[in-house]
Amino acid sequence: MSAPVPHNEALRLAELHDLAILDTLPDPSLDGIVGLAASILNVPIALISLVDAERQWFKAKIGLDACETDRESAFCAHAILDDSPLLVENALEDPRFANNPLVLGDLGIRAYFGFPLIVSAGLRLGTLCAIDQVPRTITPAQIEQMQALAKIVVRQMENTRSTRDALALAEANEVLNREADHARVILETMSEGVLIKNRQGQIVEANPSACRILGLSRETLLQTTLNDPVWRRLREDGTAFLPHEIPAAEVMRTGVPVSNVVVGLPQNDGSCRWLHLSASPLFEPFDNRPAYVVSTFSDITHLKAQQEHLKELSVKANEANDAKTQFLANMSHELRTPLNGVVGVASALANTALDARQKRMVELIRSSGKDLERQLSDILDLTKVEVGELQLESVNLDIGQLVQEVSGLMSEACAQKQLDLRFHNALPPQRTFVGDPGRIRQIVTNLVSNAVKFTAQGYVQINVLPATAGAGVVIEVKDTGIGFDETQASRLFERFSQADNSITRRFGGTGLGLAISKSLAELMGGTITAQSTPKTGSTFTLSLPLASASLIQTDPHCDDLAEICQGIPRDLRILLVEDQVLNQQVFGFMMEPFGAEFFTALHGVEGIEAFETAKFDVIFMDMQMPVKDGLATTREIRALETARKAIRTPIIMLTANAGENHRREALAAGADMHLVKPVSQAAIGDALRAALAIAPRDAHKRTSR
């Protein structure tokens, strides 16, 4: 029958495994003990048996080939149940072992004498046992000798563990010493200063760089604390840190590291040493309060000085640029008055009786005056762009007709140079857009004028094309002129710059035309690009994202603004998320009768930022936008409302996507309504009333019509 499990089995197995003796190589001293045991009892078999969870393993043996047997049939499993020896004189007569396979099998055990191996913790890990294949007895003297040998076995095993632990400890200490040496070398060679402070604020360690940066000896530093007057600390704005705000004190209090703090240390000479500092806590085992704080810092005084110098230079540069801009604006305006007199008198003089020579002279005056007027206009436009005062119109215009008019104006100049002037309009008939006709005419005139100026023979081609992506137009101006290389191309759009100085001498000009044209195009949300091959020709491409004029419609059934705005509060806060600037402007005009505060965002990311920082009564959302489209933006806004348990903000999808599938997508994303462009003011009014019914206004009083 198998032996019961000892009550302290878990502890016993833990101790056995901690000895780390199972499955190790033979130990000659233990082999000698089992040999001595066999001689004392005059038996053929003697073992040092260690009882594991599922087996008994023999650390030392004599008279037996096996290294282990299963625990279930092991005599030793019974021997470890008690401190007393297990003495079996005839196994066949002992009911515990009579049917044991080790008794009935080839081994044929008859006599078994097991002496428990009891370690200092009082746990029985195995036995020193003797086995015979014939029944027999042993004397008390032999029992005493075997018990003494068992104690020697235990002492030997525990000594082995102690030796092993001592070696491991020595090795660990050696590793720690090496690591401490490495840390010391690193600490001493670091360019950053390092200070270590204890809970009392006392500095307990300082590396050489800390001494160098702070200008204090190590001995002095080790005698100071965080509260020492020498450590008066300033923020970048010049205010002093309060005691609890000092980085090291904050880390000691919270246990949370701080980093990238700029700290100023006033010096005796009135200057300030600036440090870039980080601090981290060090904890002792089983203590959740920091025992030390390690502060690392570098001297950035020279960087701060450079920053201040750059800031001063930037201020001076801005002041100089502002002065230049103001001067140019003033001069442009001041010169127009006498110039108007010159040109006006020349025009009047041209209508008097003049001979041919006098007429040529008057025409030269008029022509020169007009050139000067154009250059003054360029300078005035430049100053308006720089100070952000240039205003764009938003009116209906026929781009094809506008460009054709510019082409007609340039036809005489082309005829004088015998150039072929070609015009092609690929837009649908009577296609109109919303934009600033004067500024678009200015850009196209500049591009065509340049093409004529720099082309000696061949042609100038003007193409008006629909935009390939989204709404808008593309205007191409091609020529067979002198062209330009990559180096010259990099300067084309710089102010007061031309491709090279020889061009200025040969063709004249201020070098402002292309720069102003580029700025105007960008103000309209467009671009100008240029491609060329030297001596072959150039192509300038103007792309403008103009909104279709059909976006604005009048409602024949409802043109009474009072009726359109009926019941809509005058102080609504409206957000339009729309990537087309002109569409934003058009929608803004349409919103004016409602008296709402109107805000815009160019794409979904800006829309979400606006939603998170301000409250809106209604959001109008375009569906197709760069960066983040309207559907994704709507879903994210709804998720934010859910997470914050906020009141639902009505979202109206305002889009050119008119299909039923688009409406379903909009509603599925969380939109409340789906309006299709072009949209009327009446439709906007209806949508606002429906939106306010979905989410009534909050508490404070509103004024309705």
Residue 151: the pLDDT is: 96
Domain membership of residue 183 (yes or no) is: no
Q: How far apart are the first and last CA of the chain?
A: 101
Q: Are residues 632 and 542 in the same domain?
A: no
d(CA 116, CA 125): 7
The H or E element spanning position 166 is: helix 140-189
Q: Are residues 33 and 158 in the same domain?
A: yes
Closest CA to 125 of 70, 67, 80: 80
What lies within 8 Å, CB to CB, of 272 at 6+ separation is 234, 264, 265, 266, 301
Residue 703: the pLDDT is: 36
| Backbone angles phi and psi of 91, in degrees to 5 | -65, -30
What lies within 8 Å, CB to CB, of 7 at 6+ separation is none
Domain membership of residue 92 (yes or no) is: yes
d(CA 671, CA 646): 16
**Cα–Cα distances in angstroms (integers) from residue 22 to residues 53, 158, 467, in the given order:** 12, 13, 83
Return the CATH number at 23: 3.30.450.40
Q: Are residues 101 and 228 in the same domain?
A: no
Q: Are residues 109 and 65 in the same domain?
A: yes
d(CA 397, CA 400): 9
Q: Are residues 13 and 161 in the same domain?
A: yes
Residue 470: the pLDDT is: 63
Residue 338: the pLDDT is: 66
Q: Helical H runs in 4-49?
A: 9-18, 28-41
Our count of domains for the chain comes to: 5
Q: Are residues 408 and 483 in the same domain?
A: yes
Q: Are residues 570 and 660 in the same domain?
A: yes
* Dihedral sign of CA atoms 285, 290, 292, 298 in order: positive
Domain boundary residue, one of 150, 165, 180: 165
Q: Is 220 helix (H, G, I), strand (E, B) or coil?
A: helix
Q: Are residues 100 and 30 in the same domain?
A: yes
What lies within 8 Å, CB to CB, of 483 at 6+ separation is 532, 533, 534, 535, 536, 537, 538
Q: Is 625 helix (H, G, I), strand (E, B) or coil?
A: coil
Domain membership of residue 138 (yes or no) is: yes
Residue 336: the pLDDT is: 58
Q: Are residues 399 and 361 in the same domain?
A: no
Q: Is 82 helix (H, G, I), strand (E, B) or coil?
A: coil
Parallel/antiparallel/unpaired status of strands 193-198 and 124-132: unpaired
Q: What residues are paired with 599 via a beta bridge? A: 575
Return the CATH number at 628: 3.40.50.2300
Residues of the chain with pLDDT under 70: 229-230, 324-326, 328-348, 351, 367, 370-371, 373-389, 430, 469-471, 495-511, 550-562, 582, 656-660, 677-678, 697-705
Residue 349: the pLDDT is: 73
Q: Residues 495-529, buried b or exposed e (16+ Cβ, 10 A)?
A: bebbbeeebeeeeebbbbbbbbbbbbbebbbbebe
Domain boundary residue, one of 299, 329, 345: 299
d(CA 540, CA 444): 10
Domain membership of residue 600 (yes or no) is: yes
Burial of 460 (0-12, 13-18, 19+ CB in 10 A): buried
Quick one: how far is CA 300 from the chain centroid? 26
| Backbone angles phi and psi of 216, in degrees to 5 | -130, 150
Domain membership of residue 3 (yes or no) is: no
Domain membership of residue 355 (yes or no) is: yes
d(CA 326, CA 347): 31
Return the CATH number at 470: 3.30.565.10
Cβ(546)–Cβ(434) below 8 Å = yes
d(CA 597, CA 608): 18
pTM exceeds 0.75 for this model: no
Q: Are residues 438 and 508 in the same domain?
A: yes
Residue 702: the pLDDT is: 39
Return the CATH number at 335: 1.10.287.130
Q: Residues 48-62, buried b or exposed e (16+ Cβ, 10 A)?
A: bbbbbeebbbbbbbb
DSSP letters, 306-352, are HHHHHHHHHHHHHHHHHHHHHHHHHHHHHHHHHHHHHHHHHHHHHTS
Q: Are residues 564 and 541 in the same domain?
A: no
Return the CATH number at 235: 3.30.450.20
Domain boundary residue, one of 332, 354, 387: 387
**Cα–Cα distances in angstroms (integers) from residue 50 to residues 54, 104, 564, in the given order:** 11, 23, 98
Domain coverage including residue 243: 193-299
**Cα–Cα distances in angstroms (integers) from residue 175 to residues 169, 171, 180, 183, in the given order:** 10, 6, 8, 12
Domain membership of residue 699 (yes or no) is: no
Residue 346: the pLDDT is: 67
Q: Are residues 263 and 374 in the same domain?
A: no
Domain membership of residue 701 (yes or no) is: no
